[in-house]
Amino acid sequence: TAASQCSSAMSSEVEETLRRIQSHKGVKGVLIVSAAGVPIRSDLDPEETNTYAALLSQLAMKARSVVRTMDETDDLTFFRLRSKKHEIMVAPDAEYLLIVIQRPTD
């Protein structure tokens, strides 16, 4: 069907993107999570996946709400948490969150 053709074309694009990100030096983990916080893809173990998915999707919602409170026409496009041990990047979308964990850059 058109829908399954479309979704298999999309999913190979997704695979490509994930492979590209995963092959970057320093990348420790990549997750795709639904807007509701349900993990869809991950290269972390199941427990870590659930923890990262839950915590970061909640934080993404809060960050988005801060952006929109300050300007209701604005929206969150990206956020980045840098800590001593790693850097977590979150790219939110209408339906998904892409989460990448990498070694700190400095």
Partner 1 sequence: MSEVEETLERVKVQPGVEGYVICDKKGQVLRRLPSMSQQQAEVYAQRMTSLSKKARGVVRDLNPKNELRFLRIRAKKHEVLVAYDQEFLVIVIQRWTPAPQV
Q: Which residue ranges make up the site for partner 1 (CB under 8 A)?
A: 51-52, 55-56, 58-59, 62-63, 66-67, 69-71, 74-86
Beta bridge partners of 32: 41, 98
Of the two residues 71 and 95, which places its CB atom closer to partner 1 in the complex? 71
Query: Given the complex with partner 1, which of 32 and 89 has the nearer CB atom?
Result: 89
Which residue from 33, 21, 42 is spatially nearest to 98, judged by alpha carbons? 33
* Shortest distance in whole angstroms from residue 100 CB to partner 1: 14
Minimal distance, residue 44 CB to partner 1, in Å? 11
Long-range contacts of 63-69 (CB under 8 A, 24+ apart): 64/92
How far is 86 from 106, CA to CA, in rounded Å?
A: 10
Closer to partner 1 by Cβ: residue 79 or 96: 79
Output the smallest distance, CB 84 to partner 1, in A: 5
